[in-house]
Amino acid sequence: DGGITQSPKYLFRKEGQNVTLSCEQNLNHDAMYWYRQDPGQGLRLIYYSQIVNDFQKGDIAEGYSVSREKKESFPLTVTSAQKNPTAFYLCASSIADRAGQPQHFGDGTRLSIL
Amino acid sequence: ILNVEQSPQSLHVQEGDSTNFTCSFPSSNFYALHWYRWETAKSPEALFVMTLNGDEKKKGRISATLNTKEGYSYLYIKGSQPEDSATYLCASPLSGGGADGLTFGKGTHLIIQP
Q: Are B112 and B13 in contact (CB under 8 A)?
A: yes
Q: Count CA within 13 A, CB hemisphere, residue B1.
A: 13
Q: Which stretches within B10-89 are classed as H helix?
A: none
DSSP state of B84: G
C-alpha–C-alpha distance, residues B8 and B110, integer Å: 9
Over residues A62-105, the pLDDT tens digits come to 999 999 999 999 999 999 889 899 999 999 999 987 768 899 99
Question: Residue A83's pLDDT is what?
Answer: 87
B102, B105, B107 ranked by CB distance to A103: nearest? B102
Question: Residue B21's pLDDT is what?
Answer: 96
pLDDT exceeds 70 at position B96: no
Residues of A with CB under 8 A from a CB of B: 4, 30-31, 33, 35, 40-45, 48, 50, 56, 58-59, 90, 94-108
C-alpha–C-alpha distance, residues B80 and B114, integer Å: 10
B94, B99, B105 ranked by CB distance to A96: nearest? B99
Question: Residue B100's pLDDT is what?
Answer: 79
Q: How confident is the model at residue A15 (pLDDT cuts 50, 70, 90)?
A: confident
Question: Residue B97's pLDDT is what?
Answer: 65
With a pLDDT cut of 90, the percent of chain B lying above it is 84
Question: Residue A23's pLDDT is what?
Answer: 98
Nearest CA in chain A to B88: A42
**Residues of chain B contacting residue A58, judged by C-beta atoms under 8 Å apart:** 101
Instruction: Give one DSSP letter per residue of A38-54, joined into a string.
Output: -TTS--EEEEEEEETTE
